[in-house]
Amino acid sequence: MSVALIWVVSPTSELCNRLGFLETTKLAALSKSRSFLRDSKIKNLDKKHKCESCYMNADFKGFWGLSHGKKQDLVSKVVANPSGELAVSSEQLIYDVVLKQAALVKEQMRNKEDIEVKPDIVLPGSLGLLSEAYERCGEVCAEYAKTFYLGTLLMTPERRKAIWAIYVWCRRTDELVDGPNASHITPKALDRWESRLEDLFNGRPFDMLDAALSDTVSKFPVDIQPFKDMIEGMRMDLRKSRYQTFDELYLYCYYVAGTVGLMSVPIMGIAPESQAPTESVYNAALALGIANQLTNILRDVGEDARRGRVYLPQDELAQAGLSDEDIFAGKVTDKWRNFMKKQIKRARSFFDEAQQGVTQLSSASRWPVWSSLLLYRQILDEIEANDYNNFTKRAYVSKPKKLVSLPVAYAKSLVPPSRSGALSKAMDL
């Protein structure tokens, strides 16, 4: 189950033209400019692309989930599979990625000259195209994620544009398997999309929207691996419609939602006064992504069932005396209510963990994240208010409730990072 994003089809299609795609030839000057910029400014490009582990909704739902970040929990997740070989849990695989992303940021933070956002070095005639690319990303964000867009206006111009570029790429990626043309998408199409991703990371954007992201990754310590992982989540949607355990579902949630946290933290920035370990801030960002995706799943049970998909752990359904047939029947029973209560409790625990890290972000970046967290968490309340009928009733937060939540989120965003070191202690438990 992915999220509703914008269409992505052939760049020659009418829709792509509506979204403001450029012909490949129009991007020649801009592409050369980006390549020149990367060659002259990014000294650690090779290091940045050596992440070897393979491991984001309409309101940028997956904006920010490794939940159980305690070290001993991760070690305990190395188990034996039926063949007798050691198998590593989804949490450990994802934690490896977290450590690499955090190390990338810390490496550049040690040299302030590398992490500062530097002015563009552009070839004549390309600056206008790049500005147009970012403007188009902002328009898409404003159209499809109004609340989040408002929050980004508090960010510095460079960070704001970068977040817009990441948002648009994630929407386009998701729409490959969850949009109107999803039935025509094949694994080869996703392979081509990944090849385009690699090109834009190397300063060779294919179209206008790619150009904005290509510029972004040349300025901030953003690694390619989370982007590749999100594409892997799309591949899972093509080949898989059931998840036997929560460990399997957790990995899927990371792929399609938790990855956005890894993409976003380098852009949003960590508050200078924060004393929390960098990896703990990433963990909190990932937790919000997991929480949001679990909320998506619980909200969309009926919709997914009509597509023949069940994004609920099969073993937990069986333990509750339920099966796929009960979901397809769409009847709310006491068994279903009890099952849903446990699922909602788990989702809320991820939201609780995410809250610990939001205050560690730079002050200008906190409001959109707090808004996402508070508004999305309320969907769980609405599921309960609907008597757990997520078969025929779609839980949503009303506009009046949203208006009440935004000033609350803003007030929370003003709270500076705690100097108690709570996150640091949590990592050492």
> pLDDT tens, 375-386?
999 999 999 999
* Residue 85 predicted with pLDDT over 60: no
Listed residue (115, 223, 159, 197) closest to 369, CA to CA:
159
Task: Check residues 219 and 429 and name the one with the higher pLDDT.
Answer: 219
What pLDDT is attached to residue 147? 79
* Residue 112 predicted with pLDDT over 70: no
The answer to whether 172 and 21 have CB atoms below 8 angstroms apart is no
The answer to whether 354 and 287 have CB atoms below 8 angstroms apart is yes
User: Strand 86-88 vs strand 78-80: parallel, antiparallel, or unpaired?
Assistant: antiparallel
What pLDDT is attached to residue 255? 96
Q: What is the DSSP letter of 2?
A: -
Instruction: Give the contacts of 277 (CB within 8 A, at least 6 positions apart).
Output: 102, 423, 424, 427
> pLDDT tens, 310-319?
999 999 999 9
Residue 35 to residue 296: CA distance in whole angstroms: 39
Share of the chain above pLDDT 70, in %: 71
Q: What is the DSSP string of 353-375?
A: HHHHHHTTB-GGGHHHHHHHHHH
pLDDT category at 394 given cuts 50, 70, 90 is: very high
Task: Check residues 122 and 395 and name the one with the higher pLDDT.
Answer: 395
What pLDDT is attached to residue 150? 85
Residue 429 to residue 154: CA distance in whole angstroms: 35
pLDDT category at 170 given cuts 50, 70, 90 is: very high
Please report, as a single letter, which amino acid is at residue 92. Answer: Q
> pLDDT tens, 333-350?
999 999 999 999 999 999
Residue 39 to residue 324: CA distance in whole angstroms: 54
What pLDDT is attached to residue 294? 97
pLDDT category at 422 given cuts 50, 70, 90 is: very low
Q: For every residue of 264-298, which 3-state class applies, written as one string?
A: HHHHHCECCCCCCCHHHHHHHHHHHHHHHHHHHHH
What pLDDT is attached to residue 111? 57
Cα angle 183-20-168, degrees, rounded to a multiple of 5: 65
Share of the chain above pLDDT 90, in %: 59
Q: Measure the CA dihedral 254/259/264/269, to 10°.
A: 70
Q: What are the CA-CA distances from residue 128 to residues 35, 38, 242, 355 (Å)?
A: 17, 19, 47, 39
Residue carrying the six token digits 């009303």: 398
pTM of the model: 0.74
Buried b (16+ CB within 10 A) or exposed e, 141-172: beebbebbbebbebbeebbbbbbbbbbbbbbb
pLDDT category at 127 given cuts 50, 70, 90 is: low
What pLDDT is attached to residue 110? 61
Residue carrying the six token digits 């370990």: 277
Average pLDDT, the chain: 78
Phi-psi region of 2 (alpha: psi -120 to 50; beta: other; left: phi over 0): beta
Task: Check residues 159 and 38 and name the one with the higher pLDDT.
Answer: 159
Mean pLDDT in residue range 394-410: 93
Q: What are the CA-CA distances from residue 222 to residues 122, 218, 230, 262, 352 (Å)?
A: 21, 8, 14, 8, 26
- Calculate helix-pair angle for 225-239, 157-178, nearest 10 degrees: 20
Residue 373 to residue 352: CA distance in whole angstroms: 10
Give 370's Cβ-side CA count (13 Å radius).
24
> pLDDT tens, 280-292?
999 999 999 999 9
β-bridge mates for residue 79, sequence order:
87
pLDDT category at 429 given cuts 50, 70, 90 is: very low
pLDDT category at 171 given cuts 50, 70, 90 is: very high
Residue 291 to residue 69: CA distance in whole angstroms: 15
* Residue 371 predicted with pLDDT over 50: yes
* Residue 58 predicted with pLDDT over 50: no
> pLDDT tens, 130-168?
899 999 999 999 998 887 888 898 899 999 999 999 999
pLDDT category at 419 given cuts 50, 70, 90 is: low
